[in-house]
DNA sequence: AGCGGAAGTTACCGATCGGTAACATGGGTG
DNA sequence: CACCCATGTTACCGATCGGTAACTTCCGCT
């Protein structure tokens, strides 16, 4: 993703059927990182699960840290794609948009494959400021806060900033709770709580 | 903690001035685990930071996993000690108790040394069911849920379970947010949000 | 003075970590 | 056919991982 191939260059413009190895590795890595955590998954495990070898890995990625950053960037892209899709049907109706977001969030987070939010999990695992994934996590969470506050403002709520922050806390709390409660537990109450908060803020 | 010393035995009953090494190691480990994460801290790092050596470590602890479990049990004890102390002045006034909890929670979580909740962080890092620390995390979070629901019920709220769950989500969300926002960010809104929710539930 | 137990020291174990060099193979295109 | 480029293979690097053996040193107690 961030690692640019030196050239696509030359002849054909055909965007179809690019080489497969890099993508196979990347997909495998994404799944392993999400399911078992970043630090828990070594290069050998990735490479082995992708039915390839370490050399092929290091021909496609400069380092594990950079792969992790790519993984997080990918999660970021998917997240906002999801968000925008959920929100789209209610253009101009911020209150309905937030309700739709929380309904989708509850569904997603309660599914049995869910391990919460990959980016939030990375916030726990990656402490070093120099790690290339750190910036991805920080900007992702900042954007979430910004959007929730913007939605709160758009719905003409009293005190939109605290409302936006509270909505964010509800959502993030759900991610965390998912990790200890089998089918999501408290997450199920996130939608009604969000509704209650918005009502109380006159939106 | 969980590792029982074979005997304190013999002569004096003096409870003062127990041997120091084990405790030195344990305190050091607790701080390192909290600050840098569990997987990120190796035995050598602990032992070196505690000015001792690996043999002394393995004379006091059966394994790293067991040390981790002890660390989590310790965090659990401290947490409930904190909780009970915060709640004590408002015996029989559940609404005030929750407000006091959230005020204390915001203060604690916004302090610059905070790295959120050690047990929540462990929920991210420890995935394997067999890990002795896993059960500690699960029972800790279950107890939090139970207590919040009990408080919600005690304050005669309508729909006490969803309210209790929502309060838990707010608190957990704050722990997570703390990891990406410098001084806590959205956490600051947790108290007002909790108040708003309780008001809306008629408590 | 002498004993015991707690702690320190050194060296080691096999496994795994992230990362690399050199070389073999294969398939597609000129 | 020849060439090239993407893959696969093997072996290796130094560092670190969690964990152990054997021996020494020190301190308090009787």
Phi, psi of A178 (to 5 degrees): -60, -25
Q: A166: which chain B residues are within 8 Å (Cβ-Cβ)?
A: 170, 186, 189-190, 192-193, 196
Domain match, B42 and B31 both: yes
Does nucleic acid strand D have an atom less than 7 angstroms from the CB of A53? yes
Q: What is the mean pLDDT of residues A119-135?
A: 98
Q: What is the pLDDT of residue B19?
A: 64
Domain match, A189 and A116 both: yes
Is B13 a residue whose pLDDT tops 60? no
Residue A71, domain member (yes or no): yes
Is B1 a residue whose pLDDT tops 70? no
How many CA atoms lie within 13 Å of B133's alpha carbon, on the beta-carbon side? Answer: 27
Q: What is the pLDDT of residue A20?
A: 87
Among the candidates A9, A40, A61, a domain finishes at A61
Q: For a pLDDT cut of 70, what percent of chain B falls above it?
A: 91
Is B15 a residue whose pLDDT tops 80? no
Span B83-114, pLDDT tens digits: 999 999 999 999 999 999 999 999 999 999 99
Is B6 a residue whose pLDDT tops 90? no
Residue B28, domain member (yes or no): yes
Residue pair A67/A2 in contact (Cβ under 8 Å)? The answer is: no
Domain match, A115 and A57 both: no
Q: How many domains, in total, are found in chain A?
A: 2
Residues B200, A196: C-beta atoms closer than 8 Å? yes
Residue A6, domain member (yes or no): no
Residue A1, domain member (yes or no): no
Domain match, B53 and B132 both: no
- Confidence band (pLDDT; 50, 70, 90) for A19? low
Residue A11, domain member (yes or no): no
Domain match, B50 and B130 both: no
The shortest C-alpha distance from B47 to chain A (Å) reads 21
Domain match, B82 and B141 both: yes
Does nucleic acid strand D have an atom less than 7 angstroms from the CB of A39? no
CA angle A176, B160, B136 (to 5 degrees): 35
Output the furthest CA–CA distance in chain B (Å, rounded): 62
Residue pair A79/A70 in contact (Cβ under 8 Å)? The answer is: no
Is A123 a residue whose pLDDT tops 50? yes
Residue pair A57/B145 in contact (Cβ under 8 Å)? The answer is: no
Residue pair B165/B192 in contact (Cβ under 8 Å)? The answer is: no
Domain match, B72 and B94 both: yes
Is B3 a residue whose pLDDT tops 50? no
Domain match, B184 and B165 both: yes
Residue B146, domain member (yes or no): yes
CA of A131 to C1' of D9 (A): 32
Domain match, B132 and B196 both: yes
CATH number, position A41 = 1.10.10.60
How many other C-beta atoms lie within 10 A of the C-beta of residue A60?
18
DSSP run (H or E) holding A178: helix A160-178
The dihedral built from the CA positions of residue B82, B86, B92 and B96, taken in this order, carries a sign that is negative
Is B17 a residue whose pLDDT tops 50? no
Domain match, A46 and A120 both: no
CA of B17 to C1' of D26 (A): 18
Q: Which residue's CA lies closest to nucleotide D20 at its C1' atom?
A: B55
Residue B8, domain member (yes or no): no
Query: CA B116 to CA B119: how far, in whole Å?
Result: 9
Span A128-149, pLDDT tens digits: 999 999 999 999 999 999 999 9
Domain match, A34 and A125 both: no
pTM of the complete model beyond 0.85: yes
Could you tell me which of B5, B16, B171, B195 has the C-alpha nearest to residue B83?
Answer: B171
Residue pair A25/A46 in contact (Cβ under 8 Å)? The answer is: yes
Using DSSP, state whether A95 is helix, strand or coil: helix
Q: B134: exposed, middle or buried (C-beta count within 10 Å: 0-12, 13-18, 19+)?
A: buried
Query: CA B148 to CA A54: how far, in whole Å?
Result: 49
CA angle B146, B126, B77 (to 5 degrees): 45
Domain match, A34 and A133 both: no
Span A62-80, pLDDT tens digits: 999 999 999 999 999 999 9
Is B34 a residue whose pLDDT tops 90? yes
Residues A186, B40: C-beta atoms closer than 8 Å? no
Among the candidates A8, A26, A61, a domain finishes at A61
Among the candidates A61, A79, A95, a domain finishes at A61
SS (H, E, C) A110-177: HCCCCCCCHHHHHHHHCCCCCCHHHHHHHHHHHHHHHHHHHHHHHCCCCCHHHHHHHHHHHHHHHHHH
Q: Write down how long chain B is.
A: 203
Q: What is the mean pLDDT of residues A152-160?
A: 98
Does nucleic acid strand D have an atom less than 7 angstroms from the CB of B21? no
Strand D bases near protein CB (under 7 Å) are 6-11, 16-22, 29-30
Residue B3, domain member (yes or no): no
CATH number, position A179 = 1.10.357.10
In chain B, alpha helices (H): 21-36, 43-49, 54-60, 64-87, 94-110, 118-125, 132-154, 160-178, 190-200
Span B111-145, pLDDT tens digits: 999 999 999 999 999 999 999 999 999 999 999 99
Q: What is the pLDDT of residue B4?
A: 23
Is A16 a residue whose pLDDT tops 70? no
Span A83-105, pLDDT tens digits: 999 999 999 999 999 999 999 99
Using DSSP, state whether A140 is helix, strand or coil: helix
Query: CA A39 to CA B186: how far, in whole Å?
Result: 27
Residue pair A112/A183 in contact (Cβ under 8 Å)? The answer is: yes
Q: Residue B74: give the domain boundaries.
A: 64-200
Q: What is the pLDDT of residue B203?
A: 82
Q: What is the mean pLDDT of residues A5-23?
A: 47
Does nucleic acid strand D have an atom less than 7 angstroms from the CB of A127? no
């Amino acid at each position: 993703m961030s690692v640019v191939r030196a050239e696509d260059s030359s002849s054909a413009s055909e965007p179809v059927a690019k080489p497969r190895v890099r993508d196979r590795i990347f997909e495998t890595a994404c799944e392993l990182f999400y399911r078992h955590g970043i630090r828990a998954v070594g290069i050998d495990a990735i490479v082995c699960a992708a039915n390839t070898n370490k050399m092929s890995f290091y021909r496609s990625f400069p380092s594990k840290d950079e792969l992790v950053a790519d993984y997080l960037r990918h999660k970021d892209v998917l997240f906002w794609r999801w968000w925008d899709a959920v929100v789209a049907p209610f253009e101009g109706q911020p209150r309905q948009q937030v309700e739709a977001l929380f309904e989708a969030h509850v569904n997603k987070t309660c599914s049995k494959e869910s391990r919460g939010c990959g980016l939030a999990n990375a916030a726990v695992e990656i402490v070093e400021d120099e790690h290339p994934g750190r910036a991805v996590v920080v900007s992702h969470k900042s954007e979430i806060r910004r959007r929730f506050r913007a939605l709160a403002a758009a719905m003409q709520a009293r005190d939109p900033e605290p409302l936006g922050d509270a909505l964010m806390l509800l959502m993030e709390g759900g991610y965390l709770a998912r990790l200890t409660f089998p089918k999501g537990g408290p997450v199920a109450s996130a939608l009604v709580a969000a509704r209650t908060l918005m009502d109380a803020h006159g939106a």
